[in-house]
Structure 1
């Protein structure tokens, strides 16, 4: 059984690492927040003092980090994974980052005889807890098959998207659609409430017409419409992920007008101090402007 290292134990990474441990993989963990490491140590993981030490203790290293800068620093920087790993080490990079960074990191590891899959995750943190995540994978197919048991310790759906970087690209495109859809859903709900429609009527109609989407089925009813903004996926991360998509659009010369406007909605939410709240808190910005509460309509 492969020795697994896990770097990044936040809202997603913490439960993912716990599920790796539950499947019997020897696990070594690292996070800049010591308390997160301690939680995993109490259930059987070993701690490391640096990403380099994680790599030295592992056959495969998993990373899920906030942004591109963090990924490059943790994997390629001083005291990083590349310094600790030997030839043949496998890395599964699961962050939502610029695909160009993904391919650059993979190439740098390959030059050292190491291997990498990009496998960003789909579905929110509740699915991380239940090991029902989806993975969008880019890289060598043979490496995917070798590491499939590790991925299946954390999720139940694997999409092979193509060569290195295609997993990260798919994640950027997927999040563009998902986050923009959530933003326009909030506009529709606030407009309807302001105009006098009952929320339950809107949901009934939306769900049974072409307007239906997962945010109407789960995201809003499970969070904002209950007045619960504890984060499953933060406003800050939605803003960051749209920025990743917009950078990709610029690199491909594809205009993303709706994505740009949606990002401004999340910028407004952050400016009002709501960056650490659930992404559905973007609706509160519109509610403030309209003077209406959708959950009370």
Structure 2
């Protein structure tokens, strides 16, 4: 591939619930795209939309100056970015690698050191806004890394994100995402417990949701969780991902010597739900565990 064409091409690995619409937005904004995912059907879908198919992460980086990793776990990100057959094998000096999954900030800094020795920049840019924001292109990117590298990557990030916020060094964007996620993910447990308590006390859950949505108990966690519970809509962000995020939060706290009390307890509540077979469901499905414990459904009264 010519250097000129390579400069105008974006690489993308990880076409999951978030990555799929994010990559589609890159195409919709007129940028050339080369993609890879372990699910070949997802790659074929993008080829049908006009993207090129890569045979693996290294092949993706061979064809693009800006490459994105949007995978679930730290181990997956390390494999994609610096593993054998990863971006590092074929990326060139001056290229920018963007890690957009929520992973371990310390691992990002270790990867940065390996990439910097080859003149390759790493940005971490996890996003907030969930799948709705991914589809609409209204995500918020929390970015860590070199400011000059961010300037080069900004046009690509802007195809997916309405806000791009720089937090300083590599890893800081992900630390910000973990702090934000902690408030949301722990908050969902409290929302669930409050609704179960009210239902057990005889209150109509529908009326509770209407009132709390306009009162001091309202929050982003409430606005996400309560309507899904009432609708029995348990599709969305997998419980396994929520558990993984809280593990990252508590691990970061341990590495920094920060005491944490509430997040580890919330993690164990999520683990109870996972052990009951709810790991692939949205984390709001945890209400089913509380309903079993209390013998009361959180459902609108007739």
| TM-score normalised by L of structure 2 | 0.94
2:166 pairs with 156, 160, 167, which one?
Answer: 160
Deviates more, 1:279-288 or 1:165-174: 279-288
2:235 maps to 230
2:4 maps to none
1:255 maps to 259
Deviation at 1:256, TM superposition (A): 1.6
CA distance in 2, matches of 1:225, 1:6: 37
Residue correspondence of structure 1 range 88-99 to structure 2 within 5 A: 88-99=94-105
CA distance in 1, matches of 2:11, 2:278: 33
Find the residue that maps to 2:12 and give its secondary structure.
strand
Deviation at 1:205, TM superposition (A): 3.2
2:62 maps to 56
CA distance in 2, matches of 1:145, 1:192: 50
CA distance in 1, matches of 2:223, 2:77: 34
2:3 maps to none
Deviation at 1:210, TM superposition (A): 2.5
What residue ranges of structure 2 are gaps of 5+ in the alignment? 1-6
Deviation at 1:71, TM superposition (A): 0.8
Residue 209 of structure 2 corresponds to residue 240 of structure 1: no
CA distance in 1, matches of 2:61, 2:219: 41
Deviates more, 1:143-152 or 1:115-124: 143-152
CA distance in 2, matches of 1:107, 1:293: 52
CA distance in 2, matches of 1:278, 1:51: 29
Deviation at 1:200, TM superposition (A): 2.6
What residue ranges of structure 1 are gaps of 5+ in the alignment? none
Residue 268 of structure 2 corresponds to residue 292 of structure 1: no
Residue correspondence of structure 1 range 91-240 to structure 2 within 5 A: 91-221=97-227, 223-231=228-236, 233-240=237-244
1:273 maps to 277
Counting matched residue pairs gives: 295
| TM-score normalised by L of structure 1 | 0.96
